[in-house]
Amino acid sequence: MPSLLAGIRVLDLTNVLAGPFCAYQLAQLGADVIKVETPGTGDLARQLGADPALNKALMGVSFIAQNAGKRSCTVNLKSPEGCEIFRRLVATADVVVENFRPGVMDRLGLGYEALAAIRPRLVYCAISGFGQDGPLRGNPAYDQIVQGLSGAMSVTGDAHSGPMRVGFPMADTIGGMTAAFAVAAALVRAARTGKGEMIDVSMLESTLVAMGWQVSNWLVAGVEPRQMGNDNMTAAPSGTFKTADGPLNIAANKQEQFEALCRIVGRPDLAVDPRFADREERKRRRGELTAELESALAGAPASHWAGLLNAAGVPAGEVLTIPQALAHPQVVGRDFVRTFAGKDGGREMKVVRAGFRLGSGDPTPESPPPALGADTGEILLELGYSETEIDRLRAQRAI
């Protein structure tokens, strides 16, 4: 069965993470994603990551993470010839994704109105830190800046360690996922009506949307969220607990789960202790309850307790490192990591697939992340340029 986005062409003009992550989700669903990059340097992420040799080769691991399944075409958008190449690409495209500062594409003569005149059904997605208008629209936006301005850092960590940045580029990733969702929705309407769309994705607003419970606590209940470390604000005992060999997450959010937990750790008396009689009492006396439970949990390792608790319907799980998580039988058994053999004896590349499966065939990138400009000639031939014209464009540094 054809992939969900088979036949859809996406022009990805983005750099680093939010935009490339958006286009990566579309590529895994079968879209023909053409990464339009600056000649010579390309996406900044090509120079970023923990492997200096790959950074020098413009294949940094930060680039590899979200660019498999794409083709790379180098085009100098500051040259008239490069702009003409891009316009010809737009005439064949369904989607344009960009994450320049607001106004940059308009100054190049390649903003939404100009491109929609070429391709009326075009879905144009602009991803920025703060959106296309508002007092911060022109500010540079990095993930950590957005994490701070969104309030995410104010509720991360505990009273002694926070405010703290979430340990991965959360705002970038959420912004990219939001953009992919919006693009997919706009494509549905474009298929039905032929009408395109201008999409304005704000990383700040996307992050606030993802913080729904904390935001609602303030908007509706008037309660300002605070740092609670690893504790769950809605229930107790629900959080991270010490065991004989390491931390264990337990989410005994329901009364029956609390009672089962007490029984399994050998402390059935806690379930009838007046101090912990109901949810609100347990939340108020969270520290006392945690001390009682950790005293009992100290008798065995985290994996032992996790097995017993899950079997009894009490959600529990060890706290793993990223290498441990990727090696876990649950992750390995679902073929979550896609491996591409190295070309010409080069090293293999491993990337993660989409976070969902499909009955018609699982989303997956069909090719490894591309070398800079690897597909330029092929793409220009598809547009009708001759080999002689392509050589001339190279000489002019338009590609």
Taken in order of first residue, the domains within the chain and their CATH numbers are 9-210+336-395 (3.40.50.10540), 238-319 (3.30.1540.10)
Three state DSSP letters for the chain: CCCCCCCCEEEECCCCCHHHHHHHHHHHCCCEEEEEECCCCCCHHHHCCCCHHHHHCCCCHHHHCCCCCEEEEECCCCCHHHHHHHHHHHCCCCEEEECCCCCHHHHCCCCHHHHHHHCCCCEEEEEECCCCCCCCCCCCCCHHHHHHHHCCHHHCCCCCCCCCCCCCCHHHHHHHHHHHHHHHHHHHHHHHHCCCEEEEEEHHHHHHHHCHHHHHHHHCCCCCCCCCCCCCCCCCCEEEEECCCCEEEEECCCHHHHHHHHHHCCCHHHHHCHHHCCHHHHHHCHHHHHHHHHHHHCCCCHHHHHHHHHHCCCCEEECCCHHHHHHCHHHHHCCCEEEECCHHHCCCEEEECCCCCCCCCCCCCCCCCCCCCCCHHHHHHHCCCCHHHHHHHHHCCCC
Provide mean pLDDT across the span 264-271.
96
Give residue-wise pLDDT tens across range 48-105. 999 999 999 999 999 999 999 999 999 999 999 999 999 999 999 999 999 999 999 9
Q: Is the pLDDT of residue 346 over 80?
A: no
Better-predicted residue by pLDDT, 154 or 344? 154
Provide mean pLDDT across the span 261-288.
95
Give residue-wise pLDDT tens across range 275-296. 998 999 999 999 999 999 999 9
Q: Which two tokens stand for residue 139?
A: 């500010």
Give residue-wise pLDDT tens across range 172-211. 999 999 999 999 999 999 999 999 999 999 999 999 999 9
Residue 347: predicted pLDDT: 84
Q: Is 172 among the residues known to form the active site?
A: yes
Provide mean pLDDT across the span 17-34.
97
Residue 356 — very low, low, confident or very high, per pLDDT cuts 50/70/90?
very high
Q: Is the pLDDT of residue 381 over 80?
A: yes
Average pLDDT, the chain: 95
Cα–Cα distances (Å) from 11 to 26, 71, 72, 75, 116, in that order, read: 11, 10, 10, 12, 14
Interatomic CA distance for residues 133 and 20, integer angstroms: 22
Contact (Cβ atoms closer than 8 angstroms) between residue 175 and residue 18? yes
Residue 354 — very low, low, confident or very high, per pLDDT cuts 50/70/90?
very high
| Residue 349: strand pairing partners | 340
Provide mean pLDDT across the span 126-139.
96
Residue 173: predicted pLDDT: 97
Contact (Cβ atoms closer than 8 angstroms) between residue 354 and residue 366? no
Residue 343 — very low, low, confident or very high, per pLDDT cuts 50/70/90?
confident
Cα–Cα distances (Å) from 1 to 70, 148, 262, 364, in that order, read: 21, 44, 50, 14
* Tally of residues, the chain: 399
Better-predicted residue by pLDDT, 343 or 351? 351
pTM score = 0.92
Residue 345: predicted pLDDT: 66
- Out of 12, 32, 172, 231, pick the active-site residue: 172
Contact (Cβ atoms closer than 8 angstroms) between residue 201 and residue 175? yes
Q: Is the pLDDT of residue 2 over 90?
A: no
Residue 20: predicted pLDDT: 98
Contact (Cβ atoms closer than 8 angstroms) between residue 170 and residue 227? no
Residue 67: predicted pLDDT: 97
